[in-house]
């Protein structure tokens, strides 16, 4: 497998509508991937073959999942024609609205039209807003609450949050008796509204009614009253088609805001299950309708969008296939050359699926609930179900696509079992994985498949030693502990390469279970691996290699030899557990060197340029996180407007001079304290009677791990000397690497400025020197020394 560099993008400034449920993807990724794998070519010559059309803007892409409107829009804007299969009316509506939203004026007019409808003698807008009236604690005026806070199972909220437009009082306050009374009053008529709200969605004898009821359970009486009051008037409104779309879009935002799946404080902001949090927020839904106006109009883009098979322009656009991929196979055949497949791979989400059915019914009536029925009845949202469904999709794709067609798959919220499910499903259908790029568990994994040969493949039994070797090699290559997801991915790739993820005729259920237990066994029953806990026993989620912490001079010479023995005789636990020497080149050290080298040559670079230089050097599972990149930049560089440059003192020539100065100071101080000083390689030694008292290792970088490894002196006599600007970076590295932290504890680390200060001290004794170097903690990089 030839892993591709991770393609960096930007977090969207505005997460967009229903962002709790749409895939969290960076923007700008697909527009950088497409030219690489479906590159633009000169205009098609007359008589050119269909193959030549591949990759030309205007040629076709296919998104078989239709789950990420933004991904599809970005590709369409690049000039591609994107065929999207969608069978969730809510996702379809999101896509249509994002591609081609009504003008802002229509949103405003639609909301105004709604507000002036009558509810008894009142205007509907006034009536609905009165549901959220509360009294300002400070000026006692009647105002609108922004939200109420509830505890699960209670019949009234316990707190309210508002910003008073009259006196400016703002924040969270306890509810008043009137607030509680208002909530209870609406609840008194609840059963009527609740049963009405079913009617629009499912017939009385419909067997999906049970699931719809379950979804409605996640609406409190007030938001349910609010929503049904509006929805029951929808048919009576005489709106232009554009205004109607605008109003539906606003209501959809209120439907999402109106349920109880808004924990407080927000611990799990992306719900997967219909579970009521112990404390939750109840939003003022009128405010949410108004907020929806901003959400939808900000997505405005004006991309051509049509229902398949209506023609879309060659300059790019979106063609929606309303149905299943299976049915598309008959339609598309080989007539449309698909240049590439793109898509955010969907994961099981019971909450979104069930709520979508409810919302679709509320907005468009019973027929809109039809596509959900199979899934609602099946009611399985586990990984085996996910793998089975994905496998079916991949199998249909194999029929549609020409051999070798690239497939760029994004896997957001990439937990280990999700990745297992995705890779197993694709492999079993005949897609060959060419690359897996993983940054952190918070970023989408980037996968590149190609449509493989249409033949039955050999499948093999999984070999635990293959998995262990792959995990071990990844940790050695990384040179520092990794998240479980990284180690798991390394193991999965090994199984994939040996065709051992799933046997033919094996159920996904069983295959996934076997893979999972194999992964656990590989790590837990092998002494080479350790699971790191933090000092107070909290799980760090990190896996590393079991490095013997105590080192003597004699041992270090044997490291390589022992590591070689270890690799040739893996199971013999009597062999010392030492990884090879290059383990001391940790990923974060290499990233530090790479960034400094780049900035040395390219001052005034923006962050994306730094990522662009870095990621090809560290492809696949080694992709550095944004956190480590920023830690290095903050240590070495400064930013003017958007561009980063090395600090003047960190330019190579300045650092070399400084290194020499510090070395001279060390000799000066040593001589004053009555030691014989000498230099040996990069170390300055203070000796007495032939015995080494102190060995100083002066660094310009934060490559602490390597420095400790290279210093042949006993830890209690070793002192690393760093620039003050590196202290925070070294501390950060210790934080992400418990093994390094343990090794750093055994030696002492002081900053340049301590030595500069000590040179100035008129009377310096060996005792005060010892005291000072012990009192210069790494974490504190602010000057607070020299109290004498």
Residues that bind Zn ion (CB under 5 A): 136, 138-139, 164, 166-167, 169
| Min CB(171)–Zn ion separation in Å | 12
Q: Are 557 and 489 in contact (CB under 8 A)?
A: no
| Min CB(180)–Zn ion separation in Å | 20
In order of 344, 421, 423, 449, 518, the CA distances from 511 in angstroms are 23, 9, 12, 21, 11
User: Cβ atoms within 10 A of the Cβ of 333, count?
Assistant: 10
Q: Are 148 and 282 in contact (CB under 8 A)?
A: yes
- For Zn ion, the closer CB: 167 or 786: 167
- For Zn ion, the closer CB: 162 or 508: 162
**Angle, helices 350-364/221-231, rounded to nearest 10 degrees:** 40
| Min CB(168)–Zn ion separation in Å | 7
| Min CB(540)–Zn ion separation in Å | 47
- For Zn ion, the closer CB: 15 or 168: 168
| Min CB(126)–Zn ion separation in Å | 20
| Min CB(144)–Zn ion separation in Å | 12
- For Zn ion, the closer CB: 129 or 232: 129
- For Zn ion, the closer CB: 178 or 680: 178
Distance CA 93, CA 95 (A): 5
Residues forming beta bridges with residue 751, ordered by sequence position: 722
| Min CB(175)–Zn ion separation in Å | 16
- Cα of first residue to Cα of last residue in the chain, in angstroms, is 62
| Min CB(137)–Zn ion separation in Å | 7
- For Zn ion, the closer CB: 48 or 167: 167
Helix, strand or coil for residue 441?
coil
| Min CB(139)–Zn ion separation in Å | 3
- For Zn ion, the closer CB: 107 or 162: 162
Helix, strand or coil for residue 62?
strand
| Min CB(122)–Zn ion separation in Å | 24
Distance CA 297, CA 103 (A): 7
- For Zn ion, the closer CB: 139 or 564: 139
Sequence-separated (6 or more) residues with CB below 8 Å from residue 652: 600
- For Zn ion, the closer CB: 138 or 442: 138
- For Zn ion, the closer CB: 165 or 269: 165
| Min CB(127)–Zn ion separation in Å | 23
Q: Are 161 and 147 in contact (CB under 8 A)?
A: yes
In 637-787, which ranges are continuous DSSP H helix?
A: 652-672, 704-710, 724-736, 738-745, 752-760, 766-774
| Min CB(136)–Zn ion separation in Å | 3
- For Zn ion, the closer CB: 7 or 175: 175
Peptide bond between residue 309 and the one before it cis (omega within 30 degrees of 0): yes
| Min CB(156)–Zn ion separation in Å | 22
- CA angle 139/145/148 to nearest 5° reads 125
- For Zn ion, the closer CB: 139 or 652: 139
| Min CB(148)–Zn ion separation in Å | 17
Sequence-separated (6 or more) residues with CB below 8 Å from residue 466: 494, 495, 498, 500
Sequence-separated (6 or more) residues with CB below 8 Å from residue 397: 62, 64, 325, 341, 407, 429, 431, 451
Number of Cα atoms under 13 Å in the Cβ half of residue 186: 24
Strands (E), 622-662: 637-640, 643-646
- For Zn ion, the closer CB: 179 or 737: 179
Q: Please give the full DSSP string across 294-339, using - where no structure is assigned.
A: HHHHHT-----EEETTS---TT-EEEEEES-HHHHHHHHTTTS-EE
In 499-620, which ranges are continuous DSSP H helix?
A: 508-524, 553-568, 587-601, 607-614
- For Zn ion, the closer CB: 140 or 207: 140
User: Cβ atoms within 10 A of the Cβ of 48, count?
Assistant: 13
| Min CB(134)–Zn ion separation in Å | 10
Q: Are 170 and 164 in contact (CB under 8 A)?
A: yes
| Min CB(749)–Zn ion separation in Å | 55
Distance CA 409, CA 419 (A): 11
- For Zn ion, the closer CB: 170 or 742: 170
Q: Please give the full DSSP string across 250-309, using - where no structure is assigned.
A: HHHHHHHHTBS--BSS-S-SS--S----SEEEEE-HHHHHHHHHHHHHHT-----EEETT
- For Zn ion, the closer CB: 137 or 322: 137
- For Zn ion, the closer CB: 164 or 747: 164
Sequence-separated (6 or more) residues with CB below 8 Å from residue 156: 175, 179, 180, 183, 184
Distance CA 696, CA 746 (A): 14
| Spatial CA neighbour of 389 closest among 400, 399, 378 | 378
């Amino acid at each position: 497998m030839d892993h591709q560099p991770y393609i960096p993008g930007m977090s969207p400034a505005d997460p967009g509508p229903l962002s709790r449920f749409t895939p969290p993807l960076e923007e700008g990724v697909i527009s950088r991937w497409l030219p690489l794998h479906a590159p633009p070519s000169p205009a098609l010559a007359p008589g050119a073959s269909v193959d030549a059309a591949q990759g030309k803007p205007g040629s076709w892409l296919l998104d078989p999942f239709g789950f990420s409107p933004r991904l599809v829009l970005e590709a369409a804007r690049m000039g591609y024609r994107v065929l999207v299969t969608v069978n969730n009316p809510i996702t379809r509506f999101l896509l249509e609205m994002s591609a081609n939203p009504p003008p802002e004026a229509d949103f405003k007019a639609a909301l105004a039209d709604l507000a002036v409808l009558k509810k008894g003698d009142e205007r509907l807008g006034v009536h609905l807003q009165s549901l959220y009236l509360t009294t300002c604690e400070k000026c006692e005026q009647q105002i609108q609450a922004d939200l109420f806070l509830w505890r699960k199972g209670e019949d009234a909220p316990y707190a309210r949050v508002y910003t008073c437009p009259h006196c400016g009082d703002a924040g969270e306050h306890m509810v008043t008796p009137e607030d509680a009374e208002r909530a209870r009053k609406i609840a008194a008529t609840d059963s009527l509204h609740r049963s009405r709200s079913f009617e629009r969605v499912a017939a009385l004898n419909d067997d999906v009614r049970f699931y719809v009821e379950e979804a409605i359970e996640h609406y409190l009486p007030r938001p349910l009253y609010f929503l049904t009051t509006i929805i029951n008037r929808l048919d009576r409104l005489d709106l232009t088609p554009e205004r109607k779309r605008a109003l539906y879009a606003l209501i959809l935002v209120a439907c999402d805001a109106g349920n109880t799946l808004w924990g407080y404080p927000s611990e799990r902001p992306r719900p997967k299950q219909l579970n009521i949090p112990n404390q939750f927020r109840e939003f003022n839904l009128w405010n949410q309708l108004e907020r929806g106006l901003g959400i939808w109009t900000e997505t405005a883009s004006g991309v051509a969008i049509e229902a398949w098979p209506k023609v879309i322009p060659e300059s790019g656009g979106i063609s929606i296939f309303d149905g299943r991929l299976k049915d598309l196979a008959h339609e598309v055949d080989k007539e449309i050359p698909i240049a590439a497949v793109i898509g955010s791979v969907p994961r099981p989400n019971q909450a979104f699926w069930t709520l979508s059915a409810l919302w679709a019914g509320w907005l468009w009536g019973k027929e809109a609930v039809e596509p959900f029925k199979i899934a609602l009845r099946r009611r399985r949202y586990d990984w085996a179900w996910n793998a089975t469904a994905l496998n079916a999709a991949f199998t249909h794709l194999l029929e549609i696509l020409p051999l070798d067609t690239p497939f760029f798959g994004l896997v957001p919220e990439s937990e280990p079992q999700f990745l297992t499910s995705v890779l197993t499903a694709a492999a079993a259908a005949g897609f060959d994985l060419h690359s897996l790029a993983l940054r952190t568990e918070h970023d989408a994994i980037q996968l590149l498949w190609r449509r493989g040969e249409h033949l039955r493949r050999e499948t093999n039994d999984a070999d635990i030693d293959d998995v262990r070797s792959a995990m071990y090699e990844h940790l050695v290559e990384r040179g520092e502990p990794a998240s479980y997801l990284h180690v798991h991915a390394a193991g999965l790739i090994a199984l994939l390469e040996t065709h051992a993820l799933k046997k033919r005729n094996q159920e996904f259920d069983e295959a996934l279970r076997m893979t999972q237990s194999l992964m656990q066994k590989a790590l837990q029953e092998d002494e080479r691996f350790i699971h790191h806990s933090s000092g107070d026993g909290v799980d760090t989620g990190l896996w590393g290699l079991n490095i013997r912490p105590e080192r003597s001079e004699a041992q270090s010479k044997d490291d390589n030899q022992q590591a070689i023995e270890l690799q040739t005789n893996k199971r013999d636990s009597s062999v010392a557990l030492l990884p090879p020497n290059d383990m001391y080149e940790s990923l974060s050290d290499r990233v530090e060197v790479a960034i400094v080298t780049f900035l040395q040559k390219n001052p005034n670079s923006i962050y994306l340029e730094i990522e662009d230089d870095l990621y090809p050097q560290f492809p696949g599972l080694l992709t550095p996180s944004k956190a480590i990149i920023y830690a290095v930049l903050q240590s070495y560089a400064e930013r003017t407007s958007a561009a980063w440059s090395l600090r003047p003192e960190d330019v190579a020539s300045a650092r070399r001079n400084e290194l020499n100065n510090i070395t001279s100071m060390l000799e000066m101080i040593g001589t004053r304290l009555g030691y014989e000083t000498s230099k040996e390689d990069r170390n300055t030694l203070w000796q007495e009677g032939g015995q080494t008292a102190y060995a100083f290792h002066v660094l310009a970088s934060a490559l602490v791990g390597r420095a400790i490894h290279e210093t042949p002196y006993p830890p209690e006599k070793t002192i690393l000397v760093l620039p003050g600007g590196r202290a925070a970076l070294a501390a950060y590295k210790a934080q992400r690497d418990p093994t390094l932290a343990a090794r750093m504890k055994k030696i002492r680390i002081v900053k340049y400025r301590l030595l500069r200060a000590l040179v100035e001290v008129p009377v310096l004794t060996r005792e005060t020197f010892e005291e000072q170097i012990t009192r210069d903690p790494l974490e504190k990089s602010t000057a607070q020394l020299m109290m004498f």
